[in-house]
Structure 1
């Protein structure tokens, strides 16, 4: 495509989520050749294009103007224009109104092309240490506690790793609600992905809630939560550590096993058998 005009149509162009070098060669080609770039915030995209050494005509397309802006974009596309759709960062259509534009293009027979690239949801999933063979991206949860817990309840039995976006100032509260509604599962909070201060916190939901209540995270946040009964996400040495801590606090082997089984999702019988092997000298009642 380099050096030639791409075919008319809508191009869904992923942009970097932090590291500018994550832009793809295809993205550069399309952004340089586009007749129009539709974006969430023209200031953000204008700055990105400036850093990339590109110029383009920009038009806003976001939640608040999508219904009014979409007919004009469709008209340009039907007239044979090359239109690129970008979000402020990452892959378009993930938590933005782009799908309605794609739907209308498909209905009218307008060519739609996806240019893959950076995605905070996928990067967070990759770094979480949790199973990635089956996952559900659930976007942003409601900001109010009652509605948030109701939404989490709907996801409780989903047999997959769960991936969420969250505001940093609500992260600790959301993690605590997840522990209450979903159970104290293994989870990860990834922030500032691909940037200088990238960080991934891993542990039980209750542990992460306490950690980020004490020190709120900064920057963009992705929360990844293990699916129900995902016992394999807890390593054997973690089971030993948790059993040892419970026994040191005075719990019997049976009570310690019950506690750790509830925390991790491992079968109680297996945890008790491990406790017997490791700590048989302790109180078994």
Structure 2
């Protein structure tokens, strides 16, 4: 039986994978978070992987507090840069295939066309730099690994923009949301399905394992303002949302003003069909209301 180690299992993506895992009878999952496995402890990682010998490692663990990372740079680097290197080293030792999740924040947002995997990276935040260095460290330790960059992740789990907008929209009459940062929301359930599909297709010889960097988000483009308006519309919330410029909402970390990802590579190589962002948002809001 194929054994899959999932790190960061209590986060949005880890929780989404866990929700879908029950349907996959040919896979044995090891779901871990910091309580079961402290990824910052290299000896603990080594012992765990040596003992369990997984066939795949899906690294969903990350330091994602983008603004706080500007003050906690060492912690961000430890989790986002050094941990992928540890996992890569152990994956290579046991011939386990590693799938690591990264971010659109590796780009500076100065493009006007969707970013491909070959475009120049230039992160402008501590978070973005730590994630880029994590990609580099992983692929140096284990070149047979896969990095999937994603953007604007949301789900019915944990803390995210969707849940914040629902909560604030129900509490307030008006909100102000940035309208000049453009990207694509990604439903964690869709990303989880893609990761599991890649593993399933690889195991069933429906496609070859092809390491390297891939981009995945839902289809379409919107601003944070558009995203907030769609959330309220689909959730039946009547709060008035004002569009504002980035300069009216200063944050410690610089966000890319444009971070739309080109997904043609992952669609072509793995035969992936990607849902439109509003369709997935509707699905998630229905899930959230249950």
Structure 2-normalised TM-score? 0.33
Q: Higher relative contact order by CA 8 Å / sep ≥ 6: 1 or 2?
A: 2
Task: Report which of the two structures shows the higher radius of gyration computed on alpha carbons.
Answer: 1
